[in-house]
Each structure stands twice: as C-alpha cells, then as structure tokens.
Amino acid sequence: MGRGLRFLEDLEDLLEIFLNFLAVLCLETALDALVTGMSTPPGWLWAPLGAALLLYLVRRAVGNLPLFLLAHAGIVWALFSLGERTPLPLLWQIAFAFLGCVYALHSVKIRLTRRRDGEGEIAPAAAAALAVCACFVCGYAGQEGGVSRIIGLCFPWLCGYFLRKYLQNFRSYVGMSRRGTGAMPERSIFLAGMRLVAGYVAGSAVLLFLLARTPLLERIAEAAGRLGKMCLRFLLGLLLSWIGQGEGEEAVPQAQEAGPAFAGLMERTEPPVWLEILERALTTAAALAMVAGAVWLLISLVRRMVRAFYARRGEKREFVREGFVEEEEFLGPDREKRERRIFPAGGAADIRVRRIFLKTAEAVCGKEEAAALRRCTARELSRFAPEEGKAEWGSLAALYEKARYSGERMTREEVREAGKLSRRILHTIK
C-alpha cells in the first residue's frame, strides 16, 4: 500500500492544482465578459492550467537552481506570448503574465520552504466569493453565457473538492490504523468510498446536462445579471449621495442623474506653493526609500534562495565528549537568530565562527580526507592539524563548540580571535 499512498498524495496535489485553476477560470471568464464580450476562444482560458502543471513538474524534477529559475521564467514568457492570439492582445498578455508570475512565485516559495505535502488550495469560502462576484460581473455586462459557464464550473469544483477530502481522510485513517493493532481492510474501504465519489460525480454530470438542456440555467443567468445591476446601481447611488452631501440636498438627485460624469464636473482649486514643494519632497524621499528597500530585498532574496534551495537535512552524528548530537554542517542562520546580526551582509557572529572553523578544517584535511568532516567531531579533527598548531586548533574547536551548541551570543572579539587562530593554523601548514 506504500506505493498506493504515494500515488494518492500525487493525486491530491493534482486535484489542488485543478481546483485552484477553476477559481482562476471564474476570474478569467468575468474579465473576458466585461472587456471582450466573451469573444476569446475558451481554449485559451485553459492556458494557466498547463502552466501550473508544468511548474509542478519542474519543482518535482529539477534540482539545479539556475535551471529551476530559467524554467519558471520560460513558462511565464510562454504565457505572455500566448496572449498575442487573443482578441485584445495587450490586455490578455498582461493578464496571463500576471497569473504566470503568481503561479511561479508560489512554486518558488513551495520549493524554498521544502513543502512536499501539497500545493495549498484556495480556501472554499474565497473560491465561492470569487465565483459569486464573477457571476455579478458577467450579469452586469449582459453576458449570460459567462454566468452559465461559471455555474457549470461549480459542479466539477465540488466533485474535485469532495474527492480530495475523501483521499485526505482516507490517508489519515490509514496512518491511524497502522499505528494501532490488528489488520484493517484498507483496500475494501477505499473501493467503497470511491464508489460513493463516482456516484456523486455521475449525479453531478447528469444534473449539469439537464441544466444545459432546459431554460433553468438561462433564467438563473438572467436573475444573476439583474441582481448584479441592482447591486452596482445601489452602490453607485450611495457613493454619489455621499459626494453630494456637502453641496446640499438639491445636489444629491442631480449627482445621481449625472452618473459617472459627475466626478469630472467637480470644481478644482489650485493648491498652495508650499504644499506642492512638500508633496515633491515627500514623493522623492518615498521613491528613494522604495529603491533602497527593493535593493535590500533583492539581495536578501537571492541569499535566502541559494541557501534554502541547496539545504539538506544532515544525518545525525554523536558528539561523544560533550553529550551533544552533531548534525551535518549547514551555515544558514536559524530563524531565531535573525535579530543577532553584526552587519546585514556579514551574518550572525556564531555563523561566522562556524564558517571560519569549517574553512580551516577543509584546508587542513584536504580533498582526500574531506569525508572526515562528517565522521569526526570538532576536537577529533585535531589529529589532522600539524604539531605546531595543536593548541591553536583546540582553541578554535572550543570557539566552534560554543558558537554551535551553547546558545550564547558570540562577541566581535571572539570572531576576531577565531580568525587569528585560523590564520596561524594555515600559516603552519604552508
């Protein structure tokens, strides 16, 4: 059943991608109905699903960071180029590129945080709200076909949602049964549940077919359109009434009749000179702060991306003398040590001491004995040091152990001392 459970996990990931895409398709349908009048071929709207599947395969298969990022950029560019064949090329190029960037950033985030338990689906409440808003927009635009499409998408979404929930509950049940005693009929339970899911899927398909063949779906679309127009008119009238409160009671009906053109008829007064100077100064300061923040975020993102991409969980090693557990050396800062930085680019003090020791050990042991770095503790590596540098090695190993295991804050003097000891050891072997 082990291979079967792994297949179920992969199937859950694919179902999450499919459910997320159905919610995105509602958004695309509303945009298409509002701008192009449902003139875009439906096949083009399914392009983000292919992008999401490709990004999923890239994240599972590619292990090289430059190739990983290049594949993501290529998929986003392919989506951007795909919009050229739509009725409004620029609009759909921007829309597809935005969706592609969202998919790509989400994929990179999952890979860097080493998540392997799922894609992270859009919450059902958020998907339902998105579908309702899309129905109102299509109804307001007078596109009943868009409302019908969104209502039709609800049925496969419900089928996929219930199937994913069943698979998730079944895997949890299998995990609990294996921790207990006795044999559980896992196969028969799984087949019985799948029969129920298949029955629900068949019933949904029949109901969707009946709705498509009867005028009920058209009436629902007309009702959604009327309701959407009423809501938008009410909100517009309420907004215009708030605008007209300062002009007296007579201005309110006039503003409501004027509609959107009312905003262009409002009188504008020239601001004073000091206000313009202050506005320009604040705008310049904000722009400089945004540029500096963007540069800092870019540097931090690249550093964290490289560290997180190549991070590996090390095998545990015993630290016999002090009773600690030695793990494979990893120089990335822990989350609780982010506030203990000597400099933004220099890293935490304990990380710098550990880096100095590791570089010294690699230089002393050489390529032939590089495997000893993971077999031996810090003090046991002293046998590779020259006789003249035994004392310096012991002091450097003590600083390394303090930096790694004590949990105390390292000082700048200790960092400098570690550097001096490292230079002495390297000088003796030359």
At 247-289, the pLDDT tens digits run 444 444 554 454 444 344 434 445 566 666 766 777 777 777 7
Q: Are 360 and 375 in contact, with CB atoms under 8 Å apart?
A: no
Which residues partner with 200 through β-bridges? none
Q: How many domains does the chain have?
A: 2
User: Encoding tokens for residue 13?
Assistant: 């990931």
pLDDT at residue 213, rounded to an integer: 65
Q: In this predicted structure, what is the pLDDT of residue 137? A: 81
Q: Tell me if 269 is assigned to some domain.
A: no
- 103 in Cβ contact with 48 (< 8 Å): yes
Among 93-107, 266-280, 347-361, which is the least confidently predicted range?
266-280
Q: Say yes or no: 206 and 325 in one domain.
A: no
- Domain assignment present for residue 201? The answer is yes
**pLDDT at 338 exceeding the cut of 50:** no
State the average pLDDT over residues 98-123.
76
Verify that 9 and 156 share a domain, yes or no: yes
The answer to the question of residue 202 being in a domain is: yes
Query: How does 191-230 read in b/e, with b if 16+ C-beta sit within 10 Å?
Result: eebeeeeeeebeebeeebeebeeeeebeebbeebbeebee
Please say if the pLDDT value at position 146 is more than 50.
yes
User: Please, which residues have CB within 8 angstroms of residue 170's CB and are 6 or more apart in sequence?
Assistant: 8, 189, 190, 193
Residue bearing tokens 């300062």: 246
Q: How far apart are CA 253 and CA 336, in angstroms?
A: 60
Nearest to 385 by CA among 422, 356, 415, 414: 422
- State residue 211 phi and psi, 5-degree precision: -65, -35
Q: Specify whether 21 is located in the same domain as 160.
A: yes
More confident residue, 215 or 17: 17
* pLDDT interval class at 319 (50, 70, 90): very low
- pTM, full prediction: 0.49
Same domain, 70 and 197: yes
Query: Percent of the chain, pLDDT > 90?
Result: 0
Residue type at 48 in one-letter notation: P
- Kindly report, residue by residue over 171-225, the tens digit of the pLDDT: 777 766 655 545 556 667 677 777 777 777 777 777 766 666 666 666 666 676 6
- Same domain? For 148 and 29 the reply is yes
In a domain, 334, yes or no: yes
Please tell me the predicted confidence (pLDDT) of residue 162: 81
**Is 41 a domain residue?**
yes
Q: Percentage of the chain with pLDDT > 70? A: 64
Q: Which domain holds residue 126?
A: 2-177+191-213
Q: Which range has the top average pLDDT, 78-87, 116-125, 340-349? A: 78-87
Are 154 and 21 found together in one domain? yes
C-alpha span between 26 and 31 (Å, rounded): 9
Q: Same domain for 204 and 321?
A: no
pLDDT score of 339 more than 50: no
The pair phi, psi for residue 111, each rounded to 5°, is -70, -40
pLDDT digits (tens, 9 = 90+) for 366-420: 766 666 666 677 777 777 777 777 888 888 888 888 887 777 778 888 888 988 8
Residue 20 has pLDDT above 80, yes or no: yes
Q: Classify 394 as helix, strand or coil.
A: helix
Q: Would 397 be classed as within a structural domain? A: yes
Question: Do the domain assignments include residue 227?
Answer: no
Single out the residue of 37, 11, 9, 43 nearest to residue 25, CA to CA.
43
User: Which has the higher per-residue pLDDT, 362 or 19?
Assistant: 19
Q: Is residue 136 a part of any domain in this protein?
A: yes
Q: Same domain for 196 and 345?
A: no
